[in-house]
Amino acid sequence: MHIEFQALTTPESLQLIRDVAAEVWPKTFEKILSSEQISYMMDMMYAPEVMNKELADNMYFELLRIDSEPAGYMVYSAYNHSSQTAKLHKLYLKHAFHGIALGQKMLDHVQTQCRKLGFSELILAVNKQNERAIKAYKRNGFATFESVCNPIGNGFFMDDYLMKKSL
């Protein structure tokens, strides 16, 4: 199995992430969120104009390829323009690749990249009901530092734990 991380640096290349997200998101959140909220959040986070603005605002988009095929993605950036703290916005892996330590490789890669960029801390938000992800982050040294429930529009909320780790 050949593993490759590909930086996506053009608006056109971001379609690769949208394609993976369209497969991963409904399966990941089907037991946590309503189908209406999943659809709303997909539009809110993965619309071309949203992702293009994020790219222009210096977010890093990376695709995980397994034997040349897109298998997952990661999105990270400076947190609130901090010089010390990075935020992992997204880390998703196709379900067919779960259970073989690829999520671990993705997280390790993000941490390495953030260290290279000079960050000393990494934070993330994870849905309170996403037990698999919470366990993985705790296993990797992340600790919960806040519980938040933020309205995102249309009567929907993001009910998350904020977690952080020193790099």
In the block, which residue shows the tokens 């009901």? 129
Q: Is the pLDDT of residue 119 over 90?
A: yes
Say if CB 160 and CB 144 are below 8 A apart: no
pLDDT digits (tens, 9 = 90+) for 59-111: 999 999 999 999 999 999 999 877 899 999 999 999 999 999 999 999 999 99
The CATH superfamily assigned to 3-166 is Gcn5-related N-acetyltransferase (GNAT) (3.40.630.30)
Instruction: Return the pLDDT at 14.
Output: 98
Is the alpha carbon torsion for 40, 51, 127, 125 positive or negative?
Answer: negative
Phi-psi region of 32 (alpha: psi -120 to 50; beta: other; left: phi over 0): alpha
What is the tens place of the pLDDT at every residue in 13-71? 999 999 999 999 999 999 999 999 999 999 999 999 999 999 999 999 999 999 999 99
Task: Please indicate, yes or no, whether the overall pTM of this predicted structure exceeds 0.85.
Answer: yes
